[in-house]
Amino acid sequence: MIRGRCLFRLPSIERVSLRTRLTKPIRRASTQPKPQPTTTTTTTYPKPRSLTRYLRTSPRLSLTYSFTKYFLASALLLHIFFEYFYVLELAWGISMLPTIASANDWVLISKLYRRGRNLHVGDVVSFKHPDKMGEYAVKRIVGMPGDFVVEGTPGKGGSGRMLQVPMGHCWVIGDNLTWSRDSRTFGALPLALVTGKVVRVFSFRQGWRKLNHGLQPAYAESDALD
């Protein structure tokens, strides 16, 4: 009745509501009695609903659930990425000085080289310290298993004895020979302690930089070398 007299078009929601109101069945006195439902003893259970549909009933519950889910997922994936692929860590100390600064240098460690896989002499590696549990160090590999290395510092005293690096071990030395505690202190390093190879160094001043091989063939200035 209103609909017929209205000059303007009503918004769709109201139209719908009006239509539903109008299309409601009109209760009339029926001549035939309704069939009475037979009483049966059936237990009714609530319709099973999924967890997400249940959580949708409360906005607070839903928010907590999705937050937890995404937090857990990112934590798991980040752990796997840091443990098995790449990790960026802040290096500290003077033992690798010409190559890595004593502070404010970040090293990108590739975990694909963990436990000595595909490593060669001259690579800079990160490893768990064999003497101090929970500490990590970065040094350069000078000898791989089977290689012969000098026990002490060349030209700085020491016995000058040659050692053969045992199976499954490597010999690591810092680039800053005078101020570095390395294989000269703790002996051959088990390759199982190597956590990865340093592939890039980052600092805010110089940006990203690659690492040079660091070991060049030695040239004698005179032939008087016995």
Partner 1 sequence: MPPSFLHQPTKFLYPAATLTLWLTTALITLNDNLVETSFIQGTSMSPSLSPAYHTTGHRDLVLWNKWISHSNGPGSLKRGDIVLFRSPTRPDCNAVKRVVGLEGDRITLDPQRRPAGDSSPESRVWDAMEANADPHGGSGGVVVPPGHIWVEGDFWRKSQDSNAYGPLSKSLVMGKAMLVLWPWERCATRPWVGYESATRVVEGRVGRKGDEVGLVDAIRAG
Decide whether 137 or 211 has the Cβ nearer to partner 1: 137
Q: How many CB atoms lie within 10 A of CB 197?
A: 24
Q: How many CB atoms lie within 10 A of CB 219?
A: 5
Give the containing element (helix H, strand E) for 173.
strand 169-173
The one-letter amino acid at 93: G
Q: How many CB atoms lie within 10 A of CB 40?
A: 5
Residues in Cβ contact with 97 at an 8 Å cutoff, skipping those fewer than 6 apart? 175, 176, 179
**What is the smallest separation between the CB atom of 10 and partner 1, expressed in angstroms?**
40
**What is the smallest separation between the CB atom of 199 and partner 1, expressed in angstroms?**
20
**What is the smallest separation between the CB atom of 2 and partner 1, expressed in angstroms?**
45
Structure tokens belonging to residue 61: 């519950």
- Residues lying near partner 1 in the complex (CB under 8 A): 73, 75-77, 79-80, 83, 115-116, 128-134, 166-169, 190-194
**What is the smallest separation between the CB atom of 35 and partner 1, expressed in angstroms?**
32
**Catalytic amino acids?**
95, 139
Decide whether 84 or 208 has the Cβ nearer to partner 1: 84
Whole-number Cα distances in Å, 138 to 73, 201, 202, 206: 31, 12, 15, 20
